[in-house]
Amino acid sequence: MMESIALAKAIEIRSLAREEQWRRNEDLFYLDNGGDPSPFFQWLGRMFAAARSRYRVMEKADRPEMGRSACDSKSSCGQAACSRM
């Protein structure tokens, strides 16, 4: 029990000393904490971006007006692409 308390106190003293060094030298903080994210988070971000882009494409293609023709009436149609007989 006493060893774990001593270890916790040593870790606390070391982290306080490191924070004091960071206050004096801001570049040291960024050198310690400015590393690349883990490969798992990079992979997760890429998967999220791919799923989001697929969702947007499907959202645009799945509009309810796509099956309806612009020339559904019996009168003449003003669009050149519509040809009814």
**Angle, to 10 degrees, between the axis of helix 2-24 and the axis of helix 26-33?**
120
**Residue 77 in contact with residue 70, Cβ under 8 Å?**
yes
Decide if 78 is inside a domain.
no
What digits encode the pLDDT tens for the residues 65-84? 555 555 555 555 555 555 55
Decide if 15 is inside a domain.
yes
Decide if 77 is inside a domain.
no
Decide if 36 is inside a domain.
yes
Number of domains making up the chain: 1
**Residue 71 in contact with residue 77, Cβ under 8 Å?**
yes
pTM over 0.75: no
- Confidence (pLDDT) at 10: 96
Decide if 25 is inside a domain.
yes
Q: Could you tell me the residue range of the domain that residue 23 belongs to?
A: 7-59
